[in-house]
Amino acid sequence: MIVLDSDVLIEIFDKHSELGDNAFRKIRESGDGIATTAINFHEIMYGLLKYAKPATEILQIPVLSYTREDSRLSAQLEMAVEKAGRQVRRTDSMIAATCINNEADLFTFDLKHFRSFKDYGLRTVG
């Protein structure tokens, strides 16, 4: 399964984005199922509401819930990365934990944000 990060979803929904078109083609050619996380869904829905954009396409994408196990792993990831002297956004550790626990690859254009989690099992596509 491929989990779509917010930045990838934004580009795919932008009808004039060549980057989004290429991402969509890459996903389709992979033959893998897609989903997003509850955290990404929140980010996208907030943006749609804020800018009064229609939300029908995003509502069709499967959403992985943020579970108790994800919470535990996210806290562990965040702590481990901080102990290594790096800072991460909490939402990024939450997204990473959800992907790791669901054995899914994260498709993101912002590989820098998620680099710190690769040592803990996060697989990325980008």
Domain map of the chain by residue range? 2-125
Q: Report CA-CA distances (Å) from 89 to 56, 61, 111.
A: 28, 24, 13
Residue type, 79: M
Q: How many CB atoms lie within 10 A of CB 70?
A: 24
The DSSP element (H or E) to which 69 belongs, if any, is: helix 68-83
**Residue 49 pLDDT class (50, 70, 90 cuts):** confident
Is the distance from CB of 108 to CB of 124 less than 8 angstroms?
A: yes
Is the distance from CB of 107 to CB of 19 less than 8 angstroms?
A: no
The rounded mean pLDDT for the chain is 93
Q: What is the pLDDT of residue 16?
A: 87
Residues 81-90, mean pLDDT to the nearest whole number: 94
Residue 55: pLDDT above 70?
Answer: no
Which CATH fold would you assign to the domain 2-125? Rossmann fold (3.40.50)
The more confident residue out of 52 and 67 is: 67
Residue 43: pLDDT above 90?
Answer: yes
Q: What's the chain's Rg over C-alpha atoms?
A: 14
